Amino acid sequence: MPAKSKIRASKRRARNGERVTFSGQLRGKPVANRKLVDLQAYYRGKWRTFATPRTDKKGKWRFRYRFGATRGTVVYRFRARIRREATYPYELGYSPQVR
């Protein structure tokens, strides 16, 4: 069974220099303490990992990201990628996408 996670962004729009907090929670039990979650953005035709936060004991994770080096209006897609690990009984999985 693939792993799942919720994902949300604190803002719908951000300009260069502004910060957005991405947060979410793993679904399912048991949650491995300090589980890795890859945050990815779809950019130039590929999913690219830009951060790897860890969960807490309840499976919650959070990461603050500062936008920079973007010119014009760009719509990014983001998702969380949940890795398969020996201490977590689920297969590789992904969250829904947010824009």
Query: Over the stretch 12-44, which tens digit does the pLDDT of each residue have?
Result: 888 888 899 999 999 887 776 788 999 999 988
**Mean pLDDT, all residues of the chain:** 89
Residues 7, 99: contact at Cβ < 8 Å? no
Degrees to nearest 5, angle at CA 64 with 60 and 68 = 150
3-state helix, strand, coil split of the chain in percent (to 5) is: 0, 50, 50
76-85 pLDDT, tens digit each: 899 999 998 8
Q: Which residues pair with 93 in a beta bridge?
A: 82
Q: Could you give the CA distance from residue 11 to residue 9 in angstroms, rounded to a whole number?
A: 6
Q: Of the candidates 8, 32, 38, which has an alpha carbon nearest to the alpha carbon of residue 20? A: 8
Given pLDDT bands bounded at 50, 70 and 90, which one contains residue 45? very high
